[in-house]
Chains A and B, each alone.
Chain A
Amino acid sequence: MLSMELRGVTKQYKQKKAVDDFSLKLEEGVYGLLGANGAGKTTLLRMLCNILKPTSGIVLCNGMEIDEMDGEYRRILGYLPQQFGYYPNMTAERYLRYLAELKAVPPGLIDSKIEELLELVELSEMRKKKIKTFSGGMIRRLGIAQAMLNDPEILILDEPTAGLDPKERIRFRNLISGFSKNRIVLLSTHIVSDVEYIADRILLMKQGKLIGQGNLEEIVEQVEGHVWTCMVDAQTAEEYNRKYAVSNLKNQGEKVELRIVASQKPVEDAVSVEPGLEDVYLYYFEQETEE
């Protein structure tokens, strides 16, 4: 059974630890890595792809260090970086063909694979167009297609849905769900709903550390009793919004319904409600500074 393991992985830049003593075992399934900007998600994924060396610790694939596996590891790896690089003057088809050659896709399969993936990401009609003419969403979809060219057993996607519209995101989720059987898919995002729908397991990362993991129910359970709702007037709502982590604010006539994430009951008439993943995100990352 396919597995990956991080043992005490740390990445330090001068005074700052981007990833701090991170240990984790991944087996087949879809993993959603959730964290605020600057939490160290991208650094962690780069180390998993062996394009960034950890300051300390090791990354293992099926019990072997990925650095030693070299080409063998890259053969089963698909990666979509956060900042997806492309050649503006190349056509989508040529770009995929080039990467298929680099990914050692058998020559006889290259055409059909490109055809299949362009179809999947709805870029078939754009195959002969230069990438520089593509919209942000189309470029992202091309990035997803290139990551899947070699049918990777380990698929690492850094912010795969950034720039996609709701329809494209739904299509992406379905694509990943269909693809993930017998594979490890790890995707990082701060779009909570993506993780909620796709991920079998959720990893919470904060300031370079793994602060929690589990399936959706287990994660949500962690903030049970910390989510509240209350009805207040507009002025008080504004005040609470500044004071507490408010996950939702809905006008109900003259009153405003607030959904507050707090360890303790924020106001006397607040009622405890069932938490969702967005509440979990707010609970853990509300204090995190945005990049």
Chain B
Amino acid sequence: MRALIREEFYKIINRRIVRVCFGVLLLCIVLLFIVAGPGNERSRIETGTETRSDLETIRQETLSGLAAIERDRELAKGFEGELTDEKLKRMAEAGGMLEYYHNEESISNIPVNGNYLNIFLAENRLTNGEYQNLSDYATATEVLPLQQTAMGSLTEKPIYFAYIQGWRVLITIMSMVGILVSLLSIIALSPVFAEEYAIHTAPILLTTEHGKRKGIAAKMVAGILFSLGALGISLCITVVLCICCYGVQGLNCFAGMLDNTWSLTEGWYGSTSYYTIGEFLLLFVAVMAIGMVMLVAFTLFASAVARQVYEALMLGIVFFALPGVIWFYLVMGNAEPHTQEILYRILYCTPLYSCMNGAIHSAVSTPMLLLRAIIFLLVVLPSIWLAQTKYKNHQVA
């Protein structure tokens, strides 16, 4: 069986289009990392004031890219550990309070002195300033007692502080990587059965001893291994890039710090705010892998029922992208609230939304995990059963 899986795996990766697409995927990961990571980093800090033409102006130093990361890491390093009211005050002194320039034309607030410390205080609403209030933003004057904040009041556990910018970049890229690997999987696995019909190898394979049993199982296992392998390699590269630039600290911080949302949602959806970042990353990878297996199973089914590779490809893409279309339909307000609620829950369990960190952040309650398991089984089991039945009974007419 192992030899058969190896041969089927070889057949998948031996296609030129698969190798080209995988190369493009790796290139995309590096580009995405540069754009969303170091290319997007800015660290500004006041270095004093100066008087020019009788006007006192604040002197600022702005760093970007790797230098900005280096300085923010240094700034945060001094405060790493359990958060206390006293530590928050010292953080405000070291990083200053975040100030915005309000742009009337674009009705937006543009940070003028943002660095890791003051952005952390502002975005987590740990100060008395208004954050991103487009019309009447007020610069903070002091930090709030921790227990008066959402972050502090919603958990009884100690809050750990560290520089976690790298993990933010990682989960942003992970979503893109998940989508790209899903598309690669559809391209790579659409031919698994359909090509055997198209190039007339099916009559030979189906007349071999293992052709209708182990041969089919080997195709399926190889397909799953390919997709999970591609996902694993892509994620490993992304993690290595992030760790090299941002460091490995902060895995024990609350995941709520990743997107600054602090909620203990009960009922249907749940929330990962109080998971650690390490736990959240593991959960994210697990959910992504589950979504990937669903996609592989459906693509193999599409490949077995299609006569041509492109038909299987189209079916796979429709299955993957359809939740996006439904989401658009819901966003446009076309559904009744009750229907909308049900559809959102189902959407969160599809392969597309299994790649979206936002969907996972707020979809971890027991009922949602149960729903995910049910949808997984409803897609995977019939797909695999139908795929093997259809291929096994293929009539060479």
Cα distance A103–B201 in the bound complex, in angstroms: 14
Give the distance to chain A from B193, nearest Cβ to Cβ, in Å. 13
* B residues in contact with A46, CB < 8 Å: 203, 396
Whether B200 pairs with A83 at a CB distance below 8 angstroms is: yes
Is A7 at the interface (CB under 8 A from chain B)?
no
Cα distance A103–B199 in the bound complex, in angstroms: 20
Residue of A at shortest CB range from B207? A79
Whether B210 pairs with A102 at a CB distance below 8 angstroms is: yes
Whether A52 pairs with B209 at a CB distance below 8 angstroms is: no
Give the distance to chain A from B120, nearest Cβ to Cβ, in Å. 53
Whether B397 pairs with A87 at a CB distance below 8 angstroms is: no
Is B7 at the interface (CB under 8 A from chain A)?
yes
Give the distance to chain B from A67, nearest Cβ to Cβ, in Å. 11
What residues make up the interface of A, taking CB atoms closer than 8 Å to B?
Answer: 13, 46, 49-53, 70-71, 74-75, 77, 79, 81, 83-87, 89-90, 94, 97-99, 101-104, 107, 146, 150
Is B53 at the interface (CB under 8 A from chain A)?
no
Whether B208 pairs with A51 at a CB distance below 8 angstroms is: no
Whether B203 pairs with A102 at a CB distance below 8 angstroms is: no
* A residues in contact with B199, CB < 8 Å: 85-87
Whether B203 pairs with A51 at a CB distance below 8 angstroms is: yes
Residue of A at shortest CB range from B14? A89
* B residues in contact with A102, CB < 8 Å: 4, 205, 208-211, 215
Cα distance A144–B313 in the bound complex, in angstroms: 33
* B residues in contact with A49, CB < 8 Å: 203, 207
Cα distance A102–B218 in the bound complex, in angstroms: 10
Residue of B at shortest CB range from A77? B207
Most A CB contacts (10 A, CB to CB) among B210, B394, B395 go to B210
* A residues in contact with B204, CB < 8 Å: 79, 81, 84-85, 99, 146
**Besides A49-B207, A89-B15, 5 new A-B residue pairs in contact (Cβ under 8 A), listed by A number:** A75-B209, A79-B203, A97-B7, A102-B205, A102-B208
Is B3 at the interface (CB under 8 A from chain A)?
yes
Residue of A at shortest CB range from B200? A85
Is B212 at the interface (CB under 8 A from chain A)?
yes
Cα distance A291–B202 in the bound complex, in angstroms: 24
Give the distance to chain A from B9, nearest Cβ to Cβ, in Å. 11
Give B1-32 as 1s and 0s: 1 = Cβ < 8 Å from A's Cβ atoms. Answer: 00110010011001110000000000000000
* B residues in contact with A87, CB < 8 Å: 11, 14, 199, 201
Q: Please name the 5 residue pairs, one residue from A and one from B, whose CB atoms are nearest each other, closest first.
A: A85-B200, A85-B201, A102-B208, A79-B207, A104-B209
* B residues in contact with A71, CB < 8 Å: 209-210, 212-213
Number of CB contacts from chain A to chain B under 8 A: 86
Whether B395 pairs with A101 at a CB distance below 8 angstroms is: no
Whether B395 pairs with A51 at a CB distance below 8 angstroms is: yes
Q: Dominant SS at the B interface? A: loop
Give the distance to chain A from B218, nearest Cβ to Cβ, in Å. 9
* A residues in contact with B213, CB < 8 Å: 71
Is B206 at the interface (CB under 8 A from chain A)?
yes
Most B CB contacts (10 A, CB to CB) among A70, A71, A94, A150 go to A71
Cα distance A256–B375 in the bound complex, in angstroms: 80
* A residues in contact with B394, CB < 8 Å: 51
Residue of A at shortest CB range from B11? A87
On whether A107 and B3 interact (CB within 8 A), knowing A71-B209, A85-B204, A87-B199, the answer reads yes
Residue of A at shortest CB range from B195? A87
Residue of B at shortest CB range from A89? B14
Cα distance A42–B207 in the bound complex, in angstroms: 15
Give the distance to chain B from A146, nearest Cβ to Cβ, in Å. 7
Whether A101 pairs with B7 at a CB distance below 8 angstroms is: yes
A-B contact list, 26 entries, CB within 8 Å? A13-B397, A51-B203, A51-B206, A51-B207, A51-B396, A71-B212, A74-B212, A75-B209, A83-B203, A85-B202, A85-B203, A87-B11, A87-B201, A89-B14, A97-B7, A99-B208, A101-B4, A101-B210, A102-B209, A102-B210, A102-B211, A103-B210, A104-B208, A146-B204, A150-B208, A150-B209
* B residues in contact with A90, CB < 8 Å: 11, 14
* A residues in contact with B396, CB < 8 Å: 46, 51-52, 81
Within 8 A of A (CB), among B205-233: 205-213, 215
Give the distance to chain A from B203, nearest Cβ to Cβ, in Å. 5
Cα distance A101–B215 in the bound complex, in angstroms: 9
Whether B203 pairs with A101 at a CB distance below 8 angstroms is: no
Cα distance A53–B206 in the bound complex, in angstroms: 13
Give B372-397 as 1s and 0s: 1 = Cβ < 8 Å from A's Cβ atoms. Answer: 00000000000000000000001111
Whether A74 pairs with B200 at a CB distance below 8 angstroms is: no
Contact among A52, A85, A89, A104 with B210 in the assembled complex (CB-CB below 8 Å) = A104
Give the distance to chain B from A154, nearest Cβ to Cβ, in Å. 10
Give the distance to chain A from B196, nearest Cβ to Cβ, in Å. 8
Give the distance to chain B from A10, nearest Cβ to Cβ, in Å. 15
Most A CB contacts (10 A, CB to CB) among B11, B207, B395 go to B207
Give the distance to chain B from A44, nearest Cβ to Cβ, in Å. 13
Give the distance to chain B from A19, nearest Cβ to Cβ, in Å. 12
Most A CB contacts (10 A, CB to CB) among B209, B210, B211 go to B209
Most B CB contacts (10 A, CB to CB) among A49, A86, A98, A107 go to A98
Residue of B at shortest CB range from A18? B397
Cα distance A100–B200 in the bound complex, in angstroms: 18
Cα distance A89–B13 in the bound complex, in angstroms: 11
Give the distance to chain B from A280, nearest Cβ to Cβ, in Å. 30
Whether B210 pairs with A84 at a CB distance below 8 angstroms is: no
Contact among B3, B15, B200 with A81 in the assembled complex (CB-CB below 8 Å) = B200
* A residues in contact with B397, CB < 8 Å: 13, 52
